[in-house]
Amino acid sequence: MQNLIESKPKIFSRNAIICLGIIALSGFFIRFFYFPEGIPITLDGALYFWYANDLSISGTFPDNVNFPNNGWPTFLSVFFYFFNSENFLDYMDLQRYVTIIISVTTIIPVYILCRKFCGNALSLFGATLFVFQPRIIENSLLGITEPLFILLELTCLVLFLQNDLKFKYMSFAFLALACLIRYEGIVLIVPLSVFFLLKDRTYKKNIPRYFIAISIFILVLLPMLFVRMETLGTDGVFSHSIAAAQTYSSGSTLIHVNEAISTFLKSTALAVFPIFFVFLPLGFFGFFRNRNFDKYTILLFLIFMFIPIIYASVRGITEPRYLLTLFPIFSLFSVFTVKEIIKKSNKTKLISIIIGITVLSLSVVYLDYNKIDYEYELDAYHVGLEVSKRTSVINDYHPEVKYVHNKIDVASHLGTFPVLSSEIKQKVKLIRTFDYAACVRDKALESGCRQYDYPSLNEFIDYGKNEGLTHIIADENENRPQFLKDVFKNEEKFLYLTKIYDSVEQGYDYHLKIFRIDYEKFESIEFN
């Protein structure tokens, strides 16, 4: 059966194209159903946004960024260049549309990968598994690097598995492009090189051909590496890979082995739940039951793709996002679970329908349960604009402060857009609500610095006064330091605070208060 499948001249039959089209339309529909309309992109996505914005306007690569790879925002800038709007939110929506399209388009290489080992019907199921993965859907709405990185890494693998030499050469080019999106892709040069040399290793021309392949890899990388060296002083690929290795070898930010294993297992469990959690175990053993060269290639790729995840785990970072690059291979393994189930029944169509409906249902239930409260986020955004208008130096109130401590709060009030980010001045400065110096001294992760919260508002203001602190922000979030919760609930106790804004009075459900600090009253009360 396997030989029969591989002997077919056409990868895409007419029925396969129609089915892939239906799967793609369904993938678009579910993503647009959860699309965060009117909510700005923040955090990493905002950094990529401003880089792409500046590049599309000036035509020169910005030199004021602090992320290692600029491949994704450079690609995004092409779309910004041809787009025309005076509303910055339209550009952010465009950024999300691009990642959605890339995410759904990835079903094509997923289908080809699965078809290498299975028939058409099961390969379509593999594409379905991938496109309806809730983590993949969520990630595609963020406007960040993973969708393009996954597409390029997967295309590299699919091309390498083809027998034609020119496709293997192309796989090195696609790996180089993936490295420009995220530098950790560089680890895949090892399995790519090993299996390129091992395939037909008795052939005399193998080594010269490998030098051609590695030359293609380097030539694709070099132009952007030179750009980064010129603008930022580091190449962003080899420099960060070496830095990561040095961090690991020094052990300065690493955690104990037991904690690292726990973090790794937690990240993996969160990533594969709920769909892969059911399909992966049996599928993994089913896939490797009959081993061959291509399956060993998949295995070595999988092992090396785990390296960045292990590195994050030993640094105590629980982040399921790092496992998304493995999802196409997980989809392939899961197909073999379905294959085993179908083998034991003569009701193939019925089982396929039941499994398909189950996958879609699990995805929708998971997304609904974990979906962002868009009304709350919209309120936090609009209230953040009020904070920006009324304050200058405030306490941090993560995560809602992401709508204030960002150029988006200023861009929202601009009459014209696009403009260079350098023309938008950051208006609001943040002060941490914990003793950062003590946290660094004790080598605690910032996420664990809550134990260093200032014990009282007075002590926080004493510190903040030297930093120019002008206002206190208190909201309904129960994760705030105790002194901020006290201000929010018992504002009358603090005679040196004057409330100048209350979001509830403006009709918002998200409750936030802004207080101006009267330092004369504060000092008179403090010294008496």
Model confidence pLDDT, tens digit, residues 82-139: 999 888 899 999 999 999 999 999 999 999 999 999 878 889 989 999 999 999 999 9
Rg over alpha carbons for the chain, rounded to the nearest Å, is: 26
The per-residue pLDDT for 13 is 81
Would the pTM of this model clear 0.85, i.e. be above it?
yes
Which range has the worst mean pLDDT, 236-250, 450-464, 468-482? 236-250
The yes-or-no verdict on residue 369 having pLDDT over 70 is: yes
For the stretch 24-58, pLDDT in tens is 999 999 999 999 988 999 889 999 999 999 999 99
Retrieve residue 6's tokens. Answer: 């591989």
The pLDDT tens digits for 163-182 are 899 999 999 999 999 999 99
Of 50-64, 67-81, 231-245, 458-472, which gets the smallest average pLDDT?
231-245
d(CA 276, CA 158): 21
The DSSP secondary-structure symbol of 515 reads E
Maximal CA-CA distance, the chain: 91
Q: Is the pLDDT of residue 492 over 70?
A: yes
Predicted local distance difference test score (pLDDT) of residue 6: 42
Distance CA 436, CA 50 (A): 28
**Which 3 state secondary structure label does DSSP give 42?**
coil
Average pLDDT over all residues of the chain: 87
pLDDT of residue 2: 44
Tell me the C-alpha distance between 468 and 466, whole Å: 6
Say if strands 429-431 and 393-395 run parallel, antiparallel, or are unpaired.
parallel
Question: Is the pLDDT at 309 greater than 60, yes or no?
Answer: yes
pLDDT score, position 526: 58
How far apart CA 283 and CA 272 sit, in angstroms, is 13
CA angle 337-339-340, nearest 5°?
Answer: 65
Residue 7 has pLDDT above 50, yes or no: no
Q: What is the pLDDT of residue 442?
A: 61
Helix (H) or strand (E) holding 60: none
Q: Which residues does 222 contact at the CB level (< 8 Å), separation at least 6? A: none
pLDDT at 155 over 90: yes
Helices and strands: H and E segment counts in the chain:
25, 5
Using alpha carbons, select from 256, 262, 245, 270 the residue that is nearest to residue 322. Answer: 270
CA distances from 23 to 110, 330, 368, 425, 427 (A): 12, 18, 20, 45, 46
Lowest mean pLDDT among 245-249, 292-296, 442-446: 442-446
* Average pLDDT of the residues in 53-75: 90
Per the CB < 8 A criterion, the answer to whether 40 and 89 are in contact is: yes
Predicted confidence (pLDDT) at residue 75 exceeds the cutoff of 60:
yes
Q: In the 8-state DSSP scheme, what is residue 498?
A: E
| 3-state secondary structure (DSSP) of residue 405 | coil
Among 374, 370, 474, which residue's Cα sits nearest to residue 135?
370
DSSP string for residues in 68-94? S--HHHHHHHHHHHH---S-HHHHHHH
pLDDT tens-digit profile of 405-418?
Answer: 767 766 666 667 88
407 close to 46: Cβ distance less than 8 angstroms? yes
User: What digits encode the pLDDT tens for the residues 188-197?
Assistant: 999 999 999 8
- Compute the average pLDDT of residues 319-329: 91
